[in-house]
């Protein structure tokens, strides 16, 4: 048994232990597809940025089959890997990656594929996820698209090396796949602020779309049942996942003012709106559309494009905030928290979506319940 085979089996054991893998056919796919073929090189975190790692380096194969997310591109620039390799670690923002196998397994199972289903993948990336789909369904039923031609070319070659031949295209994933066919399933491995109508139009009525919501606060996985045309309905899933956004759906960073601040006490830690495990996080995001939470060391902040901002700190066992701008954002957080308690502390799986072209809303408990715009 080769070392790669042994490590693949160990990865499957990890996914089973995490409780994210149940279907025997997906277990076979993860045991079979050689992830190392799709990750001959990638970035690893370094003290001053991102260092370059490639096949043959110490720990390369172990990292490939670890449960980690592996970054393969920074700042949309494929040339930065070469710079990091020869000039040392480079700064940059990850713009393409091979996702954590844990979230990949969750999404593939939530897709609920059946033999004979035609699947569209948005976000080819390295090609590894497309290979898992090909192993499960056969290459002739898998279509994959990515906006970056270099990534698509590299993925196509690696897929062929591994023995798979899905239909690949370099195009804007928000427009689906330019093939003129309908799909039984659509899976998006990048997050979106709203559901592109093209995905709904290219999915057979009753077909499923699995993607993640790109929200500054309170994102997560959704599964949508396509209707006629650009309509559909769905649910926010209890099992969570976060991805890099589709390029057109990225947020622009905002800055928090420095200087003298007037602090006041609050009983809420910043973690109630920033930590994925917080049951309040999803509801908070609905009440704070457009607001972004940031952290710099021990300093936390909340900022909105309209110029409103919050700084948050811990003072001993207590918490304090300072606010500024046209609105008092932390007062909104505190009022939203009280409302959330009154509603019975709804978690993400009590929310659903109704979609009709560009008219897209999130609702609580039922489509007739309270609603919020999906993309304000």
3-state DSSP call for residue 368?
Answer: coil
pTM of the model: 0.89
Query: What span, in angstroms and rounded, lies between the C-alpha atoms of 218 and 268?
Result: 17
Distances (CA, A) of 3 to 13, 37, 57, 66, 131: 15, 14, 15, 13, 20
Distances (CA, A) of 134 to 32, 167, 211, 222, 373: 11, 10, 19, 23, 36
Backbone angles phi, psi at 298, to 5 degrees: -90, 0
On the 0-12 / 13-18 / 19+ scale of CB atoms within 10 A, 167 is: middle
The CATH fold of domain 253-342: TATA-Binding Protein (3.30.310)
Q: Which residues pair with 320 in a beta bridge?
A: 265, 313
* 232 close to 355: Cβ distance less than 8 angstroms: yes
Catalytic residue among 99, 193, 254, 354: 99
Can you list the alpha helix ranges (DSSP code H) found in the chain?
3-18, 24-32, 35-38, 60-64, 80-87, 101-110, 128-137, 149-162, 197-201, 271-274, 281-287, 329-342
* 321 close to 312: Cβ distance less than 8 angstroms: yes
* 137 close to 129: Cβ distance less than 8 angstroms: no
Domain limits, the chain: 253-342
Query: What span, in angstroms and rounded, lies between the C-alpha atoms of 49 and 279?
Result: 32
* 320 close to 264: Cβ distance less than 8 angstroms: yes
Q: Verify whether residue 78 is a known catalytic residue.
A: no
pLDDT tens-digit profile, the chain (376 residues): 589 999 999 999 999 999 999 999 999 999 999 999 999 999 999 988 999 999 999 999 999 999 888 988 888 887 889 999 999 899 988 877 788 899 999 999 999 999 999 999 999 999 999 999 999 999 999 999 999 899 899 999 999 999 999 999 999 998 998 777 899 999 998 888 899 999 999 999 999 999 988 878 877 899 999 999 999 999 999 877 655 544 444 445 455 556 568 889 999 998 898 887 889 999 999 999 888 887 655 567 888 888 898 988 888 888 999 998 899 999 999 999 999 999 999 999 999 999 999 999 999 999 998 999 987 6
């Amino acid at each position: 048994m080769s070392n790669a085979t042994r490590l693949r089996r160990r990865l499957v054991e990890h996914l089973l232990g995490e409780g994210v893998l149940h279907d025997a056919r997906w277990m076979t796919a993860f045991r079979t597809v050689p992830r190392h073929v799709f990750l001959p090189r990638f970035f690893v975190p370094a003290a001053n940025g991102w260092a370059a790692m490639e096949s043959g380096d110490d720990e390369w194969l172990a990292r490939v089959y670890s449960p980690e997310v592996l970054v393969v591109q920074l700042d949309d620039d494929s040339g930065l890997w070469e710079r990091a390799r020869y000039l040392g670690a480079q700064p940059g923002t990850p713009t393409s990656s091979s996702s954590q196998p844990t979230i990949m397994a969750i999404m593939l199972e939530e897709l609920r594929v059946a033999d004979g289903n035609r699947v569209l993948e948005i976000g080819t990336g390295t090609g590894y996820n497309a290979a898992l789909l090909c192993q499960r369904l056969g290459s002739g039923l898998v279509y994959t698209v990515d906006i970056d031609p270099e990534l698509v070319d590299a993925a196509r070659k690696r897929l062929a090396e591994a023995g798979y031949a899905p239909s690949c295209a370099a195009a804007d994933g928000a427009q689906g796949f330019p093939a003129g066919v309908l799909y039984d399933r659509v899976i998006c491995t990048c997050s979106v602020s709203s559901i592109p109508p093209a995905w709904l139009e290219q999915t057979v009525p009753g077909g499923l779309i699995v993607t993640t919501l790109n929200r500054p606060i309170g994102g997560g996985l959704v599964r949508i049942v396509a209707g006629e045309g650009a309509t559909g309905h769905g649910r926010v899933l209890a099992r969570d996942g976060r991805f890099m956004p589709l390029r057109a759906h990225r947020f622009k960073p905002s800055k928090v003012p420095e200087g003298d601040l007037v602090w006041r006490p609050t009983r809420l830690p910043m973690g109630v709106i920033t930590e994925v495990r917080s049951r309040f996080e999803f509801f908070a995001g609905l009440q704070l559309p457009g607001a972004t939470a940031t952290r710099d060391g021990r300093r936390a902040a909340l900022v909105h494009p309209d110029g409103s901002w919050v700084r948050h700190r811990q003072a001993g066992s207590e918490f304090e905030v300072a606010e500024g701008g046209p609105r008092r954002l932390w007062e909104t957080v505190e009022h939203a928290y009280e409302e959330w308690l009154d509603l019975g502390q709804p978690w993400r799986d009590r929310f659903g979506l109704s979609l009709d072209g560009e008219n897209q809303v999130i609702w609580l408990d039922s489509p007739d319940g309270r609603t919020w715009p999906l993309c304000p």
